Amino acid sequence: MAERTTGTHRRKKSVSKKACALLWDESFAWGLMARQALTEAGLPFDLLRSEDIRGGALSRYHMLYVPGGWASQKLIALEDRGQEEIRRFIDGGGSYLGICGGAGMATEDGMGLLPVRRKPTTERVPSVSGPVRLSLAGHSLWQGIDAPIFFAWWPSQFRVADQRVGVLASYEEVLPDAFSSDIPVADGRVTGWPALEARYGILLDPARLHGEPAVIEGHFGRGKVLLSLIHFDTPGDPNGTAVLRNLWDYLASGWSSESPARKSRSRKQPLPDSAEFSDSFDVIKTAVADLISTGSRNFLWYWRNPLLLQWRRGVRGLEYGTLTVMTEEILKCLSGIDGGQTHTAAPDLLRAREAISAIRDQLLPFVEKAKRLLIRERFYLNTAPLSPLECADPEINRLRLELFGSAMSHGGDFKRLIDTVDRLLFDLIRDA
């Protein structure tokens, strides 16, 4: 089984199962975010792929945690067998934690773990990102939370009509320094949301979220299912860290977040013969940096935090940021730079060399084509609003179709490239 455990907690003697399995597939930057946040919180987890779940690996865990990403792509990766293994696991008493895309995967639009649906895009505010204030129901999940401010990153919205589903938190306010699409909430209030919604052609007013469910809970068979549109797994968020620890106590019974994680005493060790990767390193780093620089100097995006870009409406930002943070993480792993938290072991160097070569060969034409698209999109924005899916410029449409496919979920050249990147990164993390 391909897995990696990060952080350990004291177990009660009666417990034989591990605390948490984290589904890595189709999470990409959201998987990195979750891994970093759980490590910061000192919580135990193993990374699993869909093939592990299809092989019955969930029987060794109390909880399955599915982070963000496109729910539709996660379901494809799991296949029918993997989805049935998850249902069997929850029905038998296991717990399910889904955040954002992982929450969407559990609704009736996905596996049907809870009698909940997602609102269609035309009925929701689809592009809110940043800090939000929640209204909390009484629950152990909120122990230690005094000011209930957390982070949402472009969430969906739930449609809850079944009394068997409990609402643990609802939206109170989207804070002024958050964004709706590419508009700072504070500035949108000044300009007026009705005029902006008419211009953008989508719902933007964050006040529409007031009272909407953000965290919900129910049961599937004998198991607990907890779904959150809020990213408690945002690194560096103390409130999120506190809730994650409460979640482990609540959903992975027998583990205590009161017990400190044991620190690894092994020393950081550079990867043997990593110099042989240096030429490919330089090519990949230069190409990705050039791509990000192209968007920055054309005023198309900037970094909101170390993992996420903020981009202008009409261009792709999530994909370019994801490519950047994942290739950077690969280079860190292959250079033996792991923050001093784990002992870096040598993976299969031949496998890594082949994967790096494949990434380089796919990345270079992707970047050149993407830069042409970005520049063309920038000048189009000077004359008219730009939709991320529709454009009157045939060359923009052609490049978009080749690079990303015809839908907002990942496709085209990007999907082939990011899958290669993702497989190598998972192997490097697993082998560490």
Per-residue pLDDT tens over the stretch 217-261 = 999 999 999 999 999 999 999 999 999 999 999 999 777 554 444
pLDDT band at 274 (very low <50, low <70, confident <90, very high): low
pLDDT of residue 265: 40
For 348-376, what is the mean pLDDT? 92
312 or 4: which carries more pLDDT confidence? 312
CATH number of 5-251: 3.40.50.880
Q: Average pLDDT for residues 178-190, to the nearest whole number?
A: 97
For residue 160, which phi and psi values (nearest 5 degrees)?
A: -110, 120
Q: What pLDDT score does 275 carry? A: 58
Q: What is the mean pLDDT of residues 93-106?
A: 97
Gyration radius (Cα) of the chain, Å? 22
- Cα distance between residue 213 and residue 171, in whole Å: 6
Could you tell me the residue ranges of all domains in the chain?
5-251, 274-431
Across residues 41-45, what is the average pLDDT? Answer: 95
Instruction: State residue 391 phi and psi, 5-degree precision.
Output: -155, 145
Res 337 pLDDT > 80: no
**Which pLDDT score is estimated for 335?**
74
Report the SS3 class of residue 62.
Answer: strand
Which residue's structure tokens are 């797994």? 233
Top-confidence residue, 265 or 24:
24
In the prediction, which pLDDT does 343 show? 39
Per-residue pLDDT at 216: 98
Q: What is the mean pLDDT of the chain?
A: 89
- pLDDT value at 345 more than 50: no
Q: What is the mean pLDDT of residues 187-210?
A: 96
Give the range among 130-144, 190-204, 269-283 with minimum mean pLDDT: 269-283
The whole-number pLDDT of residue 430 equals 84
pLDDT in tens, 64-93: 999 999 999 999 999 999 999 999 999 999
Task: Give the mean model confidence (pLDDT) for residues 269-288.
Answer: 72
pLDDT band at 408 (very low <50, low <70, confident <90, very high): confident
Place of tokens 């109390």: 62
Q: What percent of the chain has pLDDT over 70?
A: 88
Phi, psi of 386 (to 5 degrees): -125, 125
Give dist(CA 249, CA 338) in Å, integer: 28
Residues 6+ apart with CB under 8 A from 320: 291, 292, 295, 301, 309, 311, 370
Which two structure tokens, joined as six digits, stand for 46? 């193993």
- What is the reported pLDDT for 254? 73
122-145: average pLDDT? 96
What is the mean predicted confidence (pLDDT) over 401-409?
Answer: 93
Average pLDDT over residues 201-210: 96
Q: How confident is the model over 125-146, as a mean pLDDT? A: 96
Amino acid 402: pLDDT? 97
Model pLDDT, residue 259: 45
